Amino acid sequence: MRYLVTLKSGSPASPPPPELMDAIMALGDEATKSGALLDTAGLMPSAAGGARVSLSGGELTVTDGPFAETKELISYVVYQVRDKEEAVEWASRFLRLHRDLWPGWEGEADVLRVFGEE
């Protein structure tokens, strides 16, 4: 099963500590070697060229970033795993790195199953 995990940050935009980036790279290497990691990337802030296309009442509306939400979508990852619990475990490990190596950082990860042949 494939899962898309999106990461939202509620913390002010600032560079993450180098120790966190090293730990994220190590976790990514582990996920790649296990065969779970299919794709990942960081995302630019919505103010840096983002747009939202909405459909309401038959009308399309385009809104340029930044968006009004208090949490900014900052990255994503796609995992190929056995089940939702394994996807949640990878996401939890990622957030624990943030908790342990970036005091005060706050955010959340959404774990969503991708439609597929399963």
- What value does the mean pLDDT take over residues 57-63? 95
Rg value, the chain, Cα? 16
pLDDT reading at 112 higher than 70 = yes
Q: Dig out the tokens for 56 from the structure.
A: 């309401």
- What value does the mean pLDDT take over residues 103-117? 92
Distance CA 3, CA 7 (A): 13
Mean pLDDT of the chain: 93
- What value does the mean pLDDT take over residues 18-47? 95
Whole-model pTM?
0.89
- In the chain the domains, ranked by start, together with CATH numbers, are 2-113 (3.30.70.1060)
